[in-house]
Chains A and B, each alone.
Chain A
Amino acid sequence: MPPIVEISALRKAYAGGFEALKGVDLQIAEGEILALLGPNGAGKTTLISTVCGITTATSGTVRVGGHDTVTDFRAARAMIGLVPQEINLEPFEKVQSTVKFSRGLFGKPANPALIEKILRQLSLWDKRDSQIRELSGGMKRRVLIAKALSHEPRVLFLDEPTAGVDVELRRDMWEIVAELKRDGVTIILTTHYIEEAEAIADRIGVIAHGEILLVEDKAKLMARMGKKELEVQLSEPIIEIPASLASDALRLNDDGTALIYSYDTRGERTGITKLLAEVAAAGLILRDVVTRQSSLEDIFVDLVHEGEAP
C-alpha cells in the first residue's frame, strides 16, 4: 500500500534566511500514529504547516493520498485536519457554529448528527451554545479538535495537542486518538512529552534542527531503551571483578566502588537474585543498590546532541 503522506526533500527557508527544514523525507502509512518528538524550534510546526498549506515550501514535494499539496491542493487539503498548537479561535463565536463553519469551509454538506456526535465525544455538547471566550483553556482546545474532526479528515495533524492541558484532558485525548485510529484515520502528532509518544504512537520520529534524525517503530525503540542498569555500590573499592562473578553484563565503575549490571527488564529472569547471591558469596560487602533505566528521553537527548555537534 502506498504511503498516505509522502514528504520528499522538503526544505523551508524563511525570509530572514533561517532554514527551518533542511530536506525532510518522511513517509507515513495509512492508519498509523506517528509521534514527532523534538525540542522547541526543531521544525515540527513548520513541517506540519507546510504539509497543511499554511506556509509554502522553498523546495521539495508533499503528497497526501497521492495528491500534490500544491498542484492538487483541493484534493490534498480536503483529506487533512489540523489542530494547531496555538488556541486560535474567535472569542465571540459559539461552539457549535464555529464547528459547523469548519465543516462548510472544507466543502462538506451540513451534517448535524455528526457534529453532535463529535461534540458529545469531546464533552462539548453541553457547551454548544456558549461563546468561546467563556470556555476554559482545555475546553478551547477541545473546540479546536472538534473543528478539525468536523470535516472527517483521513489524516489528522495534532500540533502539541496536550501542551499545557490537565491530566484528564490528556487521557481523553489519547482515547479520542485511539478511537480515530480504529476508524482508520492516520494521525501525526508532535509533542515533547515522551510519555505521550510512548502511550499512543506506533512509530516515533525525532526531529531537531530541521532534520529527521530517526524514525523507528515504537516497539523497536522501546526494546532499545528497555535496558536497565543495577548499580551495586561496595563499601570497599575493589581493583577487578572477582572471577566468580565475571560476565558480559557486569562491569566495574572507574574508581572500583561499584559493580554495574545491565539487564533486560522484560526478560524472563533478570538475574538479579543470582548476582546478589554471588556478590555475597564472593565476600563483597554492599553499601547500597541503585537501579537506572535508560529511557526514550536519554536516547532523544543523545540524538539531539549528536545533531548539534559540528
Chain B
Amino acid sequence: MNWTAVKSIYLFEMARFFRTITQSFISPVLSTSLYFVVFGAAIGSRIQEVEGVSYGAFIVPGLIMLSVITQSISNASFGIYFPKCIGTIFELLSAPVNFLEIVMGYVGAAATKALFIGVIILATAFAFVDFEIQYPLAMVGFLVLTCISFSLMGFIIGIWAGNFEQLQLVPLLIITPLVFLGGSFYSISMLPPVWQIISHFNPVVYLISGFRWSFFGAADVPIGISLLAIGLFTALCIAVIWWIFKTGWRIRQ
C-alpha cells in the first residue's frame, strides 16, 4: 500500500474543504435550524408523539441523515469530477497508486467532511429539542457507515457524470426523493399499507430506521436488516468502483 499517496490525496481534499469552511458549515446549520423551527416547533406542536417520542426529537435522526447523505454524495462526486473535468486526473492515473488508494483518499475525505456536518447538525439539534441518545456507539457507527457508503456512491456519480448538469441530476432526481420518502420526517408505519411495501424497496429507509433506533431504541425495520442493507450497499459500491478502475470506464481510454 502506498500510504503516503493515500494521505496526500486525503489532506489535499481536506484542504479544499477547509478553504471554504464557513460556507460548508453555515448552509447545513441554517437549513437544519429552519427545519427545526418549521417542523419541530410550528407543525410539530400540533402532532402527537411518534413511537413515544416528541415529533421534534423524532425528526432529529432523519434530518442528520438527510444532510449527511446529501453532503457525502456532493462532496465525493465533486471531489473526483473536478480533476476529471479540468484534466488534473492525468496525475492520478500516471501515479504509482491503485484504485483502492485513490478511493481511500477521495472517499475518506468526502466521508470525513460529511461526518463533520453530521456532528454539527447533531449539536444544533440539541439547541432546539430535548432528547437523549440511547446507543451512542451504534449511533456513531451508523453515521460513519452512512458517510462512507454514500461517499462511495458519490464517487461513482462523479466518474459517471459527463458535465455539471449530470453531477447535479442524480442527487436531485434520485437521492432527494429517496431520502424524503425514506422516513426522515415520519415513521413508515404512518403510511398506507401499499406505500409501506413500496418503502421497503427504498434503501434509505433501512438507514434512517437503524439510525433512529440508536437514538430512541425503536425502529421501523429490525436493526439486523438495517445493518445488512447498508453493508450490501457499501459492498456493491466498492464492487462498481473496482470494475470502473479495472476497465477504465470513463476515466482511462
Contact = CB atoms under 8 A, between A and B. Distances in A.
B96 interface: yes
B2 interface: yes
B2 A107 contact: yes
B96 A88 contact: no
A106 B87 contact: no
B83 A90 contact: yes
B248 interface: yes
Interface string A123-147: 0000000000000000000000001
Interface stretch (B4-12, B45-53, B222-230): B4-12
A86 interface: yes
A89 B88 contact: yes
Nearest to A80: B94
A76 B82 CA distance: 27
A52 B88 contact: no
A90 B81 CA distance: 12
Contacts of B95: 77, 105-106
Find the residue from A56, A77, A101 having the highest chain B CB count within 10 A: A101
Given A14-B253, A90-B86, A92-B19, A107 B7 contact: no
A78 interface: yes
B2 to A, nearest CB: 4
Interface string B81-109: 01100111011111111100000000000
A31 interface: no
Interface string A72-98: 011111101010101011111000010
A309 interface: no
A77 B4 CA distance: 15
Nearest to A87: B87
Contacts of B96: 73-78, 106-107
B220 to A, nearest CB: 43
Contacts of A239: none
A88 B86 contact: yes
Contact of B15 (A14, A74, A78, A97): A97
A251 B60 CA distance: 97
A82 B90 contact: yes
Interface residues of B, number: 28
A109 B4 CA distance: 7
A78 B96 CA distance: 6
Contact of B94 (A14, A52, A89, A91): A52
A182 B138 CA distance: 60
B153 to A, nearest CB: 24
A54 interface: yes
B252 interface: yes
A108 interface: yes
B196 to A, nearest CB: 46
Contacts of A78: 96
A105 B97 contact: yes
Contacts of A73: 96
B93 A104 contact: no
A55 interface: yes
Contacts of B8: 101, 103-105
A84 B88 CA distance: 10
Contact of A54 (B16, B82, B93): B93
A104 B7 contact: yes
Contacts of B98: 74
A53 interface: yes
Contacts of A14: 253
A54 B94 contact: yes
A106 B95 CA distance: 6
Nearest to A86: B87
Given A77-B96, A97-B15, A88 B5 contact: no
Nearest to A75: B96
A76 B95 CA distance: 10
B44 to A, nearest CB: 42
Contacts of A104: 4-5, 7-8, 11
A101 B8 CA distance: 6
Contacts of A106: 5, 95-96
A15 B9 CA distance: 30
A106 B90 CA distance: 13
A75 B95 CA distance: 10
26 contacts: A14-B253, A52-B94, A54-B93, A55-B253, A56-B248, A56-B252, A73-B96, A74-B2, A74-B98, A75-B96, A77-B94, A82-B94, A84-B87, A90-B88, A91-B86, A92-B19, A97-B12, A101-B8, A104-B4, A104-B5, A104-B8, A105-B97, A106-B95, A107-B4, A107-B5, A147-B91
10 closest pairs, A vs B, by CB?
A104-B8, A88-B87, A74-B96, A77-B96, A52-B94, A107-B2, A78-B96, A55-B253, A105-B95, A107-B4
Interface of B: 2, 4-5, 7-9, 11-12, 15-16, 19, 82-83, 86-88, 90-98, 248, 252-253
